[in-house]
A and B are shown apart, each in its own frame.
Chain A
Amino acid sequence: MYILPKADVPRLLDAIAARYELFGPVVDPISGDTLFDRASAPSAVRLDAPIPVNTPKFSVFPHFERILTYRYDRASKALDIRREDLVRPKALVGVRSCDLTGLLCFDRFFLGQEFVDEVYRDHRRKMLIVANTCVRPFAQCFCVCTDSGPAAVEGFDVNLTDLGEAFLFETGSDKGRGLASELGLAPAGEHAARDRAAVVNRSIGLFDGQAVENKAWISRAVNRLTTGFVKPETWEYIGQQCFECGACSFVCPSCSCFNVQDAATQAGPTDRLRTWDSCSFEGYSRMAGEHNPRRPIEDRRNKRFFCKLSYSQSKKYLRPGCVGCGRCARVCPGDIGLPNVVTAIRREITEPKP
């Protein structure tokens, strides 16, 4: 562990920007929204900005991405497939632990199973991650209930914790250690671990008063979902309010469902695109021969919550799929973000039987 004086943050950002395309929390001057976005200049990265409205997942999993290009000549039946290496080295700076946990779920989905996704792997290999401990929760946050914050414990090259005058600079990889020596950072004193724990504990202590939107009972919901005890009426109540927009999946740090689409270009070759997709869509689970195992909207809804909270899914991610960022609640036109679903499940248990 090292100490990074706050005056040296620009040096750190410059050093990173020299080697990587720099992404971090930036503030849109027109709307005032914080976005996790490409920084126009290193100084645009704001380590003190509120939780970004979007997740950094687009950096490894873009809205849509050309994964290959092909040309097919009908006459000769010749097929020319190209996969250009377009992936540039990216640095994600100021990643919150919830979003970093989402990336770890992605790693297990795209890399940790039978097949390795090469496109994803290329993004990930060339990446530098600088995490930033959340020193204050926001209204929608519940990472403390999903074991994903407020501080990162794995998956980073560097983890910063704001100690007031300086950042504690924790390294998690050779890349991180290389940065520390390049910047000539002083090692942290013997109290560093204790100071870090105090910051994290203080942040956790603030949840009660500040994370006021989402009082959910995640562990109980995990139990009910896994054992299949949630009543069909509860799913119907939730399904009735679903507008089928897909927003919950699109803002979710751990939702990785995608669609593959070929699109002809005017220049000649055809692009094969990977696009974001969502299990809330009927067409997502439709199979050949008209069969659809999840046609009613409530079945599609409950699929998503199984994916986020059931134990069987957690075994794949080695943790719950939900990372407690609360974004789904913010973007849902039907007011059925994950915390409200958990509340509906809990109400089923706590409300007296008629």
Chain B
Amino acid sequence: MSYHSGVCNFCGTGCGHLLMVENGTVRGVFPSPGHPVSRGRLCVRGWHIHELLATEERLARPLRRGPNGFESVSWDEALEGAAAELRRFRPDEIGVWASPRASNEDVFTAVRLARAVLRTPHIDLLSDAWYSSTAEVLREGTGWPGSLGTLADVRAADFLFVVGTDLTRQNPIVASELHFAAKAGADLVTLSSRTTQMARLSRTHLRPAPGAKKAVLAAMLKLLLDEGLADPDFAAGRIEGTEAVRLSLRDVDLAGLEKAAGLTADGLRDLVRRLAKAERAMAFFSSGTTGLGRDTVALIYNLFLAAGKIGRPGCGLVPVVGISNLAGANDMGAAPGRLPGWRRLPDPAAEAAVRSAWGEAAAVTPGRRIDDLLRDPAKPLRALVVMDHDEEINLHAEALKKLDFVLYLGAYDNPFIEFAHVVLPAATYAETDGTYTNTERRIQLVRRKTEPRFEARPAWRILTGLAVRLGASWGYDSPEAVFADIARAVPMYAGADYARLEAGVGGLAWPVDAAHPRGTARYERSAADPAPRAVPLREPLAGTAPAAADYPFRLMAGKSYFYWHQNNIMKRTFIPLREYNALLLLYPQGLVDVHPDDAARLGLRDKRPVRVVSAAGTMTVQARVTSDVLPGMVYAPYFIGPMIEGFLRPEAGAVERGEDAVIPVRLEKV
């Protein structure tokens, strides 16, 4: 046969596909009808993954920077050279940046290399602004650092609540499940300032002013309690944490919200009644680069807890993950503040376990985020190990140029190698075995389809080779051996092994352990389990501040369908790249969405230039006039070169605050 069963590697949905392999290269793709997540569907990205896997725009052989630029070297020379360089630095001068697209095995090996061999606590993930904080909220409430629900429940749900990002663009097959459910009668509600396709497919579209999502959610929670619709335990304060949550709700200003957010209290009241009445209710919100802030997620959780929907059959909260293994990479402990298995430091028991498994000298202290280190004027970082830097936006170019040593490993040609001193070609996910954990905690094993092309090697093998050259006594000879160590280190994976993961299509959802040998579809509370707790907010609920006179518009940063995640790998495809270019050719200077009323008032016209000015930065882009945005709102679907230099870099903090964040700007006709 030429078609081989596997799992798509673009987003965190984890759809099943069949890759067509001919003469050692991937030449086609087809959806797998038997797969439990995708049931025979793929999105535009999934339908073109063979273009990426077949591209010749690969890093082909190990490179070392010499006096005249890069020169080809042997694997031995490259690894010896990298090891010698890394030995020059103190452990805390080195950082490791793992990839959320890499397999659990690759990321786990990187974590072990960092903490046990390089002995640095600075191990971090690229593109993970919000998944950690989202999962921490869910863990604080239920003990589960991940999705509380399963996609298999969507079509049976009565009430479906989507907060934020356009799922039809970010995770189309998840959105498809919601769409099918809505067509069959489920009450689909979207909370989003923009009119997205998801909003158009919803029965109700709540359209608050930018930045008011948190206020709307708090108002919904308050109304649920005021109307006497809340779960009796929550209402009576028998659930731990409810008092603190109630205290935060004192600041809810319904009248102010009606005025500022363009919503009516009656509309919200009707909505919470529908939520309370539903037997099976689920919520979906984005996590990852444009996710929601910690308190916004806490409010969604508390709303569902108060409505009695946490731990109940058929219910669940699903943080929707935009990158294939963002959830799994977090499970592996690629975070400066945690050890594998979501053990937040300090944690004496976990520290002792890691020291006993990885050696007494392993770094078990909390480290710092790489972003944070690169921004530190004291320049504490001198060397960096980077896997698969997919982001087109690089906010740290200057800091990266000043590093003494950068080791880059990745599969595809990438502008990031400009900063590297040694470049190592890694295998793609189709060229080695590995497991990936999707947005609903489903651990799926993907088997190798072809040999690595050119001189590439799997990342777990590259990192193991580096560890051995740095004096480590451990060595993995296969991804399966790495997974055996993962099962020992990560409690939720304790009962999983390759044979069990491969026993059926679709793998197993964690926790997989002695009590749940076939995995666990959803968080369901039995009488023996500890009761879920309310999750108090960390910051006071600020009212929606009136726009400042100088900066009357609110700018939101987002993403578009084809230019996905400002992503380097989409540029290695043909059709998705062309679709991205179709928009870029219309708006070559980049674009912001402006409402027709605002455009008329300011004399802006479609495709004509407009200057966007914030307190910190300025950019001149083209206007796209559309009523998909609200009056007073500006939406930037993506950023290109000059927009990054002039505007995004000075405003990086706001953008990193995620979808909740808005940047006050004014628009000037050019």
Which of A's residues lie within 8 Å of B, judged by CB?
A: 26, 28, 30-33, 35, 37-40, 44, 53-54, 58, 62-64, 240-241, 243-247, 250, 259, 261, 263-266, 273, 275, 277, 281-283, 286, 290, 330-335
Contacts and interface: CB of A to CB of B under 8 A. Distances in A.
Contacts of A264: 56
A63 B30 CA distance: 10
B179 to A, nearest CB: 7
B414 interface: no
A101 to B, nearest CB: 21
Contacts of B46: 245
Given A53-B40, A333-B41, A333-B172, A33 B454 contact: no
Contact of A245 (B5, B42, B54, B505): B42
B56 A243 contact: no
Contacts of B27: 62-64
B33 interface: yes
B1 A333 contact: no
Contact of B40 (A40, A58, A282, A330): A330
In which size bucket is the chain B interface? 35 or more
Given A244-B561, A245-B42, A33 B575 contact: no
Contacts of A247: 31, 41-42, 47
Given A244-B44, A283-B579, A333-B43, A263 B179 contact: no
Contacts of B454: 266
A331 to B, nearest CB: 6
B499 to A, nearest CB: 14
B47 A283 contact: no
Contacts of A259: 574-575, 578
Contacts of B168: 243
Contacts of B544: none
B34 interface: yes
B168 to A, nearest CB: 6
B575 A331 contact: no
Interface stretch (B84-92, B263-271, B580-588): B580-588
Most buried by B among A32, A33, A261, A290: A33
A283 B582 contact: yes
B34 A54 contact: no
B554 interface: no
A335 B180 CA distance: 7
B666 to A, nearest CB: 29
A50 to B, nearest CB: 10
27 contacts: A26-B1, A28-B1, A28-B5, A30-B5, A31-B505, A33-B32, A37-B2, A38-B2, A44-B1, A53-B33, A53-B40, A54-B3, A63-B20, A63-B50, A240-B200, A240-B201, A241-B201, A243-B175, A244-B561, A247-B31, A259-B574, A275-B574, A281-B44, A282-B579, A283-B575, A331-B40, A333-B41
B28 A63 contact: yes
Nearest to A263: B56
A279 to B, nearest CB: 12
B604 interface: no
A31 B18 contact: yes
A282 to B, nearest CB: 5
Given A263-B56, A266-B60, A243 B20 contact: no
B31 A38 contact: no
Given A31-B33, A241-B179, A332-B41, 16 more contacts: A37-B1, A38-B1, A38-B2, A58-B28, A64-B28, A245-B42, A246-B44, A275-B51, A281-B44, A281-B578, A282-B582, A283-B582, A286-B582, A286-B585, A331-B40, A333-B41
Contacts of A330: 33, 40
Contacts of A263: 55-56, 574
B347 to A, nearest CB: 39
The 6 closest A-B pairs by CB, nearest first: A63-B28, A333-B176, A283-B582, A31-B34, A283-B578, A30-B5
B414 to A, nearest CB: 15
Contact of B176 (A240, A246, A334): A334
Contacts of B655: none
Most buried by B among A28, A290, A333: A333
B112 to A, nearest CB: 31
B2 A33 contact: no
B231 to A, nearest CB: 34
B579 A54 contact: no
A82 B583 CA distance: 35
A250 B5 CA distance: 18
A265 B175 CA distance: 37
A259 to B, nearest CB: 7
A335 B18 contact: no
B578 to A, nearest CB: 4
A31 B5 contact: yes
B627 interface: no
A282 B43 CA distance: 15
Contacts of B18: 28, 31, 33, 35
A57 to B, nearest CB: 11
B183 interface: yes
A33 B33 contact: yes
B299 to A, nearest CB: 30
B58 interface: yes
B505 A30 contact: yes
Contact of A35 (B30, B44, B50, B575): B30
A214 to B, nearest CB: 16
B35 to A, nearest CB: 7
